[in-house]
């Protein structure tokens, strides 16, 4: 028997996605296109008859605002919200603020893809106090030694799964429909966990902006449909290949 429905929503296009810059923990806003994608995501939820009862987001405005715009479009802006840094995007270390195309040209395909998609090779750490570091950001003041200076996907799995288990699974077990507003790589980490994707195969998985991905889960938290179901599969397929080809 299925327990509650889970919907994963990567934020709409951000202004740095539009400029092809590595973003990570830098708190950039949505672009105009991203705002429209978020509203469209909510319309898709409404049309599918999916009514979230609770929303979990990262601490980053592109995910917070996308979830809000989507819920507003679905007439669910009033539901309870939980936010946590464990849903944040992967910290992109010293690559934060760098142009993806220039990085590819400077370091070559192999290194570029190791940094972007390998499971366990983090980019070089960001320098404390540098322009795109978060060490003076008050929202992370309580993190202490947990504040990352860089992360690989494995690090994201390590910090995200405890939040999944302690905060999100109880909502699902209570029969709630849960919306998660998060990011390309934090959602890749969650999908890896849900679908049991291997460390090497996860390199080939990309998540498009603004298109809700629905999962129905069994009692033992296995997806009834492996990989879930995008609410607009054609748009998702096109957007997935655009993400895969970023930097080229």
Binding-site residue ranges: 10-17, 23-24, 62, 89-92, 100, 116-117, 184-185
Does the footprint of ligand DG2 cover residue 183 (CB under 6 A)? yes
Q: Residues comprising the binding site for substrate?
A: 10-17, 23-24, 62, 89-92, 100, 116-117, 184-185
Please give the helix or strand (H or E) that residue 17 lies within, else none: helix 15-19
| Contacting residue, 89, 151, 171, 232, with ligand DG2 by CB under 6 A | 89
Catalytic residue positions, numbered:
11, 89
217 with 45: CB under 8 angstroms?
no
| Number of amino acids touching ligand DG2 (CB under 6 A) | 14
Q: Which stretch binds ligand DG2 (CB under 6 A): 40-48, 154-162, 181-189, 229-237?
A: 181-189
Does the footprint of ligand DG2 cover residue 22 (CB under 6 A)? yes
Task: Please give the DSSP secondary-structure letter assigned to residue 128.
Answer: T
The number of helix segments (H) and strand segments (E) in the chain equals 8, 6
Q: Which stretch binds ligand DG2 (CB under 6 A): 18-26, 43-51, 195-203, 232-240?
A: 18-26
Does the footprint of ligand DG2 cover residue 184 (CB under 6 A)? yes
Does the footprint of ligand DG2 cover residue 92 (CB under 6 A)? yes
- Kindly give the pairing relationship between strand 54-57 and strand 178-182: parallel
Does the footprint of ligand DG2 cover residue 122 (CB under 6 A)? no
φ, ψ dihedrals at 49, nearest 5°: 70, 25
Half-sphere exposure of 18 (CA within 13 A, CB side): 14
Nearer to ligand DG2, 188 or 214 (CB): 188
Which stretches of the chain are assigned E, i.e. beta strand? 2-10, 54-57, 81-83, 178-182, 213-218, 229-230
d(Cα 177, Cα 146) in Å, to the nearest integer? 30
Report which residue's Cβ sits closest to ligand DG2.
Answer: 184
Nearer to ligand DG2, 90 or 214 (CB): 90
Tokens of 231: 């609410």
Tokens of 121: 């090779």
Half-sphere exposure of 81 (CA within 13 A, CB side): 15
Task: Please give the DSSP secondary-structure letter assigned to residue 218.
Answer: E
Does the footprint of ligand DG2 cover residue 133 (CB under 6 A)? no
| Contacting residue, 3, 7, 17, 114, with ligand DG2 by CB under 6 A | 17
- Burial (CB count <10 Å: 0-12, 13-18, 19+), residue 189: buried
Does the footprint of ligand DG2 cover residue 214 (CB under 6 A)? no
Does the footprint of ligand DG2 cover residue 112 (CB under 6 A)? no
Minimum CB separation from ligand DG2 for residue 167, in Å?
Answer: 20
Nearer to ligand DG2, 3 or 239 (CB): 239
Contacting residues toward ligand DG2, per CB under 6 A:
10, 14, 17, 22-24, 89, 92, 116, 183-185, 243, 246
């Amino acid at each position: 028997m299925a327990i509650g429905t889970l919907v994963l929503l990567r934020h709409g296009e951000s202004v740095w996605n539009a400029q092809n810059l590595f973003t990570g923990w830098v708190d950039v806003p949505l672009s105009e296109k991203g705002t429209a994608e978020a509203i469209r995501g909510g319309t898709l939820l409404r049309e599918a008859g999916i009514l979230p009862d609770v929303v979990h987001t990262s601490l980053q405005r592109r995910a917070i605002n996308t979830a809000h715009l989507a819920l507003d479009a679905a007439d669910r802006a009033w539901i309870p919200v939980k936010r946590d840094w464990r849903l944040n995007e992967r910290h992109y270390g010293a690559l934060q603020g760098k142009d993806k195309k220039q990085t590819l040209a400077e370091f070559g395909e192999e290194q570029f893809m190791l940094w972007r998609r390998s499971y366990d090779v983090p980019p070089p750490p960001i320098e404390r106090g540098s322009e795109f570091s978060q060490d003076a950001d008050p929202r992370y003041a309580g993190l202490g030694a947990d504040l990352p200076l860089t992360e690989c996907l494995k690090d994201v799995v390590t910090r995200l799964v405890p939040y999944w288990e302690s905060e999100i699974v109880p909502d699902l077990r209570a029969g709630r429909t849960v919306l998660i507003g998060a990011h390309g790589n934090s959602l890749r980490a969650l999908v890896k966990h849900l679908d049991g994707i291997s460390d090497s195969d996860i390199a080939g998985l990309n998540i498009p902006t603004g298109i809700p991905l629905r999962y129905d889960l069994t009692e033992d938290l296995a997806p009834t449909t492996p990989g879930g179901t995008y609410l607009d599969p054609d748009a998702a397929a096109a957007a997935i290949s655009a993400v895969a080809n970023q930097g080229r």
